[in-house]
């Protein structure tokens, strides 16, 4: 596989036995989440490379002198670790994106209700919002990224909660099927994530609609792409900034 190519791995995730029972057992426990753990084993099955201590930090995988960090949330907590490790090590940050989600809800009586499909679908381009959190490190020769797109079964339990809170607790997410992986290292890799329908010039509102992103995510993506020099701000239309993609990047 070449860096920057989209890769569809031919190997599916190993099946997890009795997922509903595992979901029950995980209630109220503090442990590594199944999505994080399964991706770690998928990328490197050698357990001796997992949770490896380097200096003051524990990394998810240390293999052949390189580091892999799996980050399911904000990249901001990674900033200090990356700043310390990048001068000596190559680091790949893996960002999981949920493609299709099947939801299983366990009610107050412990009964597993019929499954349903979530209408939400993760967007690979949304990684730009997280990259904006570590923008000072973008372009470092020892840093690249993987977008790990995967389907999951998500187990939830109903809870009695105060108003304005979700009426459930997420128990765990179990990846399934064959993941799709995007490598991000060169500017062309980032360009390939942009919607084909996007034409110059455009505003944030246009970009947000075409890319199917929330306003905050669209703002983060535009900031990241401007830092990388892939998108430039060319003017204003009324109160809206106007942008263009630099095609030769």
Structure tokens at 93: 């940050």
The residues pairing with 83 across neighbouring beta strands, listed in sequence order, are none
Q: Are residues 150 and 225 in the same domain?
A: no
Residue where a domain terminates, one of 171, 193, 215: 193
Task: Decide if pLDDT at 94 tops 90.
Answer: yes
**Range from 28-42, 56-70, 88-102 carrying the lowest mean pLDDT:** 28-42
Residue 32's pLDDT band (cuts 50, 70, 90): confident
Task: Decide if pLDDT at 43 tops 60.
Answer: yes
Q: Are residues 199 and 145 in the same domain?
A: no
- How buried is residue 149: exposed, middle or buried, by Cβ count under 10 Å (0-12/13-18/19+)? buried
Task: Decide if pLDDT at 4 tops 50.
Answer: no
Name the helix (H) or strand (E) containing 227.
helix 215-227
Residue 169's pLDDT band (cuts 50, 70, 90): confident
Q: Are residues 187 and 209 in the same domain?
A: no
Task: Decide if pLDDT at 22 tops 80.
Answer: no
- The rounded percent of the chain whose pLDDT value lies above 90 is 72
The residues pairing with 203 across neighbouring beta strands, listed in sequence order, are 242
Q: Are residues 152 and 84 in the same domain?
A: yes
- Residues 232 and 243 sit within 8 Å (Cβ to Cβ): yes
Residue 139 included in any domain? yes
Residue where a domain terminates, one of 159, 174, 193: 193
pLDDT of residue 31: 61
Query: For the segment 128-165, what is each residue's pLDDT rounded down to a tens digit?
Result: 999 999 999 999 999 999 999 999 999 988 876 555 56
pLDDT of residue 3: 36
Backbone dihedral angles phi then psi of residue 55, each to the nearest 5 degrees: 60, -125
Task: Decide if pLDDT at 213 tops 60.
Answer: yes
Structure tokens at 13: 């995730």
Residue 92's pLDDT band (cuts 50, 70, 90): very high
Q: What is the CATH number of the domain that holds 237?
A: 1.10.10.10
Full domain range(s) for residue 164: 6-193
Q: Are residues 185 and 201 in the same domain?
A: no
Backbone dihedral angles phi then psi of residue 20, each to the nearest 5 degrees: -65, -40
- Residues 68 and 43 sit within 8 Å (Cβ to Cβ): yes
Closest CA to 242 of 210, 208, 197, 202: 202
Residue 12 included in any domain? yes
- What is the distance between the alpha carbons of residues 38 and 33, in angstroms, rounded to a whole number? 9
List the Cα angle 80/83/84 in 5-degree steps.
Answer: 90
Q: Are residues 189 and 229 in the same domain?
A: no
Q: Are residues 217 and 124 in the same domain?
A: no
Task: Decide if pLDDT at 14 tops 90.
Answer: no
- How buried is residue 205: exposed, middle or buried, by Cβ count under 10 Å (0-12/13-18/19+)? exposed
Please give the model's pTM, rounded to 2 decimal places.
Answer: 0.84
Beta strands 66-70; 90-106: pairing state: parallel
User: CB count, 10 Å around CB of 244?
Assistant: 14
Task: Decide if pLDDT at 26 tops 50.
Answer: no
Residue where a domain terminates, one of 193, 220, 240: 193
């Amino acid at each position: 596989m070449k860096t920057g190519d989209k890769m569809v791995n031919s190997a599916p995730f190993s099946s997890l036995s009795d997922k509903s029972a595992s979901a029950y057992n995980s209630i109220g426990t503090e442990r590594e989440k199944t999505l994080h753990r399964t991706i770690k084993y998928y990328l490197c099955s050698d357990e001796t490379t997992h949770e490896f201590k380097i200096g003051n930090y524990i990394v998810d995988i240390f293999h052949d002198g390189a580091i892999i960090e799996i980050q399911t949330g904000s990249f901001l907590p990674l900033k200090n670790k990356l700043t310390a490790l990048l001068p000596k090590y190559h680091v790949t940050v893996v960002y999981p994106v949920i493609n299709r989600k099947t939801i299983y809800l366990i009610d107050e009586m412990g009964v597993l209700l019929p499954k349903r499909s979530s209408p939400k679908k993760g967007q690979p381009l949304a990684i730009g919002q997280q990259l904006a959190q570590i923008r000072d490190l973008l372009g470092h020769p020892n840093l690249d990224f993987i977008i790990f797109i995967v389907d999951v079964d998500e187990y939830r339990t109903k809870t009695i909660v105060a108003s304005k809170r979700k009426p459930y607790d997420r128990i765990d997410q179990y990846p399934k099927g064959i993941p799709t992986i995007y490598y991000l290292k060169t500017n062309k890799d980032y360009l390939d994530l942009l919607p084909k329908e996007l034409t110059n010039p455009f505003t944030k509102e246009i970009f947000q609609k075409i890319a199917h992103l929330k306003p905050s995510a669209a703002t983060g993506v535009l900031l990241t792409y401007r830092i990388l020099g892939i998108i430039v701000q060319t003017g204003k239309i009324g109160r809206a900034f106007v942008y263009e993609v630099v095609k030769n990047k």
